[in-house]
Structures are given as structure tokens and as C-alpha cells.
């Protein structure tokens, strides 16, 4: 196989709770991860010349070892002593530094693609074991779908697919440092904790209203005071018919849930004219079974 075309899907968090800060400085979390039908496109091409070459549509992205797709390719090349070179064409659609695991999903796609292209014979579990060395979200991005993530995000439990709805995604013209958010999160002083078991129960019971009513993210307690536009986008989505809206990951991306497609489309147009967000997408859930 000389050439391979892949899709790297984005994720959102239906619920994100930070349980505690460990003595080593890392945080234990409990969160519901959900893949959405927004994806980057990745093309892998085998090369006669040795080495890894990356091309991307965004001028500011690194095309060397500082890019996770490079690190993913090198990890398998080194382990399996692959002598052939690899050209990676990465076309980004997922907002960058946005709390949607775009970089992790790109790395996961490269691991999956190289396993197939070079006939390495690795199972999904074996790919996930290697992926965690690149980032905590990479194993989930290999798995995809609706998943409960615990521990430092590495303990994954597959959940039933979420009921169908329309998902409006908006990223304001800012970038948020995940490190900044976690360093400023005061876990012991949190005024609320998301009802993660309640979300799991609502998903199991296919109760979309129950899921929407429980959307919460404790990281908003840090990110929204620093970047009030996030709250403005949430409010705008709700006033435009969203069942609920919440920030994904450490932000700044916000997503809102809609039952009706026309209402969701009208909300998208309204959001565009508001100038609150730079990147706006209307999509649906990704379901691994479809």
C-alpha cells in the first residue's frame, strides 16, 4: 500500500470533572468524551527516500518533531525499523488549540494508518498502548465514539451511542493554554461538580434531554473569567434555541445541542453575524457503528 487517505475526527466533552490534584501535580478526571463529525484530512504516502516529511495548510503549524503527527510516525518507524520514508499531508479543519483534541486525533490517525500501510499487525489495544506516550487523548482518539474517561484520561469505558441531534460548534478568535487552565484550577474550591453518573444513565437510557440538562465543565471556572467571550457564545447559542451549551475541554470552543436542523442553521447564521466566533461548524455526532 503506497498511499492512504484518513479522517481524524474531533471530540467534545459532554461532562468534564476534575476529581483531585495528585501529589505529582497531575489531575485525575472523570469525563464523557464524544466524537463529532468534524475532521482533519490526512494523506500518507510511502517514499523511497528515508525520513518523515510533513505538509500542512496552516503556515503556523510545525512540520518537524514538534508536530504530533511526526512524533507518531517516528514512534512506529523506530520500533519497527521502517526504512522507507513517509510523506504526510495534513489538512486541518478542526480548530487548533481549541479543546477538541485535534492534534491527538491527527496522531491517532497516523498510528492507525501506518499500522495498515506497513502491515505492522498491531491490534487497537496495542496502538492505544503506544498512543498514550504521545498524549492522554490519543488512545481515545483511536477508539472514538462515546466513552467515559477516568484516571488521567487513560481509563476508558465504552458507552452506548448518544441519541441523534445537531451540534453547533464555535471557536472564538483566541487560544487557551491547557497548562494555564489546570495551573489555575482550584479543585478544592469548586462550587459544583458535573453529574457524570447522571450523564452515563441518560446516555444508556437514550434520554437526550437528560444529557443536555447535565452538560457541565469545571474548567469553565478558570477559562470564562479569563475569556468572557466564551460565556457570550454560550448565552448566544441558548437564546437561539440550543437545548444547552458548554465549553469543550480547556476551551475556548463552545458547542450547543439542537433537536431541530432549521433552528440550528438559524443559530449558525446568527452566530456568524455576531462576530463572537472565528470558526463555526454545524455537524452531528460521529457513531463508530455507522
Among candidate residues 17, 137, 171, 234, the one labeled active-site is 137
| Cα–Cα distance measured from residue 179 to residue 222, given in angstroms and rounded to the nearest whole number | 11
b (16+ CB within 10 A) / e for 182-191: beebebeeee
- The phi-psi region of residue 282 (left if phi > 0; otherwise alpha if psi is between -120 and 50; otherwise beta) is beta
CA-based nearest residue to 159, from 150, 151, 171, 169: 150
In terms of DSSP H, where are the helices of 54-101? 68-79
Annotated catalytic, 137?
Answer: yes
Contact 212, 11 (CB under 8 A): no
Q: Which long-range contacts (CB under 8 A, 24 or more apart) does 207-213 make?
A: 207/163, 208/162, 208/163, 208/165, 208/243, 208/257, 208/259, 209/243, 211/14, 211/162, 211/163, 211/257, 212/243, 212/244, 212/257, 213/243, 213/244
Q: What is the CA radius of gyration of the chain?
A: 19
Among candidate residues 11, 92, 171, 234, the one labeled active-site is 11
Neighbours of 22 (CB within 10 A): 10
Contact 209, 257 (CB under 8 A): no
Which residues are known to be catalytic? 11, 137
Amino acid at each position: 500500500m503506497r498511499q492512504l487517505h484518513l479522517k481524524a475526527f474531533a471530540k467534545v466533552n459532554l461532562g468534564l470533572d476534575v476529581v483531585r490534584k495528585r501529589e505529582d501535580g497531575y489531575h485525575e478526571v472523570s469525563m464523557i468524551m464524544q466524537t463529532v463529525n468534524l475532521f482533519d484530512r490526512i494523506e500518507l504516502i510511502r517514499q523511497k527516500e528515508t525520513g518523515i516529511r510533513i505538509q500542512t495548510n496552516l503556515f503556523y503549524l510545525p512540520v518537524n518533531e514538534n508536530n504530533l503527527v511526526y512524533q507518531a510516525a517516528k514512534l512506529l518507524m523506530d520500533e519497527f525499523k521502517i526504512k522507507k520514508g513517509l510523506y504526510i499531508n495534513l489538512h486541518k479543519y478542526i480548530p487548533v488549540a481549541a479543546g477538541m483534541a485535534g492534534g491527538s486525533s491527527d496522531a491517532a490517525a497516523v498510528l492507525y494508518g501506518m499500522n495498515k500501510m506497513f502491515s505492522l499487525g498491531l491490534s487497537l489495544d496495542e496502538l492505544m498502548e503506544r498512543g498514550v506516550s504521545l498524549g492522554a487523548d490519543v488512545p481515545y482518539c483511536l477508539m472514538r465514539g462515546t466513552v467515559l474517561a477516568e484516571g488521567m484520561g487513560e481509563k476508558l469505558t465504552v458507552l452506548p451511542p448518544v441519541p441523534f441531534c445537531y451540534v453547533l460548534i464555535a471557536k472564538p478568535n483566541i487560544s487557551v493554554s491547557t497548562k494555564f487552565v489546570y495551573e489555575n484550577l482550584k479543585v478544592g474550591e469548586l462550587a459544583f461538580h458535573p453529574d457524570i453518573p447522571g450523564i452515563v444513565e441518560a446516555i444508556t437510557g437514550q434520554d437526550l434531554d437528560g444529557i443536555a440538562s447535565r452538560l457541565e465543565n469545571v474548567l469553565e471556572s478558570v477559562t470564562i473569567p479569563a475569556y468572557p467571550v466564551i460565556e457570550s457564545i454560550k448565552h448566544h447559542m441558548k437564546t437561539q434555541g440550543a437545548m444547552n451549551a458548554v465549553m469543550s475541554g480547556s476551551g475556548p470552543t463552545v458547542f450547543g445541542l439542537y433537536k431541530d436542523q432549521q433552528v440550528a442553521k438559524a443559530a449558525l447564521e446568527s452566530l456568524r453575524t455576531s462576530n463572537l466566533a472565528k470558526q463555526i461548524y454545524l455537524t452531528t455526532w460521529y457513531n463508530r457503528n455507522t
